[in-house]
């Protein structure tokens, strides 16, 4: 919805999650945001660490949403360092109520 109201573009590299295709799409399309759950981000970071995906082309990334469960502090630090996701927000589930959105530097409120 935000992309429609802010004249931006949504990139769907595949019909279902493919970490390598996702990272290549981020590089090729110069994406600024990346959405996922902690497990998805972990697999993407593993591809970068193994060298299967080149570590270039992520300088445009800055924000996104991590949802589904809380993001461990160490994973958040890696996302900041390796993928430049310095403005990543977390959407945490709250049973019986609507979720909440958290945003801030590593270690603050987490």
- Residue 49 domain-assigned? yes
Does the global pTM surpass 0.85? no
Structural domains of the chain, count: 1
- Residue 34 domain-assigned? yes
d(CA 88, CA 67): 10
- Residue 98 domain-assigned? yes
CATH of the domain at 43: 3.40.50.980
- Residue 27 domain-assigned? yes
pLDDT in tens, 44-96: 999 999 999 999 999 999 999 998 888 899 999 999 999 999 999 988 766 55
Which residue segment(s) compose the domain that 12 sits in?
2-103
- Residue 7 domain-assigned? yes
**Helices and strands counted in the chain (H then E):** 4, 4
Please tell me the predicted confidence (pLDDT) of residue 110: 45
Share of the chain above pLDDT 70, in %: 80
């Amino acid at each position: 919805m935000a992309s429609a109201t802010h004249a931006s573009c949504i990139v769907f590299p595949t019909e279902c999650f493919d970490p390598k295709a996702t990272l290549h799409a981020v590089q090729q399309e110069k994406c600024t945001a990346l959405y996922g759950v902690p497990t998805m981000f972990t697999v993407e970071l593993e591809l970068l660490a193994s060298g299967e995906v080149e570590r270039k082309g992520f300088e445009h990334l800055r924000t996104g949403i991590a949802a589904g469960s809380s993001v461990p502090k160490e994973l958040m630090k890696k996302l900041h360092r390796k993928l430049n996701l310095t403005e990543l927000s977390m959407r945490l589930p709250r049973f019986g109520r609507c979720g909440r959105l958290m945003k801030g530097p590593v270690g603050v409120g987490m």
